[in-house]
Amino acid sequence: MKIDWLKTLLFSIAVIIAGFFIGNMHKIGKQYDRSVQVKGLSEREVDADLAVWPINISLAANDLNILSGDIERQNKEVYDFFIAQGFTEEELTKGSTNISDVQTDRYNSNAQYSPFRYLAKSEFTVRTNDLPKLQKALSESLTLMSKGILLESKNTWRPIEYIFTGLNDLKPSMIEEATKNAREVAEKFARDSDASVGKIRTARQGLFTINDRDENTPQIKTVRVVTTIDFQLED
């Protein structure tokens, strides 16, 4: 009988202890379940630090030999112009030169009415980190017209592509700013709920986006990132 009584006592103590731990775990779990998910924003305006200007030089003629000489002369004139504007050889890239026979183009139904049989097109690319120098060259390029040279942008919808390459330098501070912004939002929510903001449970960094500030100033970019953060709420 004494052994049975001892077993019963030990069993009762075990049940009480287990109940305490289960209840405490449930309480802790409930507390951990209290959280708020918010988004944090960081946005910066930056100047583009790289410009790419793809250029086409086009000529038309009926004499193939004359056309070949003229297009080579114009290529040299354009190259010398940019060198005179202070560009280095590394900033200038000469592309290929293509000469086509308009009259043999079976997809051009109006080829027979063309006043010129041959069309020559050269590609030329300016790639530089010196944007003021490029802007100056753009205004000065009108002088080439007096020599019969017309510069055509290869991409008519975006003549010059402006690029920002310094994103990696901005990422740490922008993520920090977005996290701080998210905590401010969470703290406002917590005050309305009579709680306080605790530790971060989970955090998801959104994609960084780089867009033109507007259509008229593509050389100014807007860098943006949105983070999604779950904060623990505490009493």
Q: What kind and span of H or E run contains 204? A: strand 196-205
Burial of 77 (0-12, 13-18, 19+ CB in 10 A): middle
- Residue-range domains of the chain with CATH: 32-47+165-234 (3.30.110.170), 50-163 (3.30.70.2970)
| Predicted TM-score (pTM) of this structure | 0.75
Q: Mind listing the pLDDT tens digit for each residue in 32-46?
A: 457 888 899 999 999
**Percent of the chain predicted with pLDDT > 70:** 82
> Are the CB atoms for 103 and 51 separated by under 8 Å?
no
Which pLDDT tens digit goes with each residue over 85-135? Answer: 999 999 999 988 888 888 777 666 666 667 888 889 999 999 999 999 999
In degrees rounded to 5, what are phi and psi of residue 21? -65, -40
d(CA 35, CA 80): 66
Please count the other Cβ atoms lying within 10 Å of the Cβ belonging to residue 234. 12
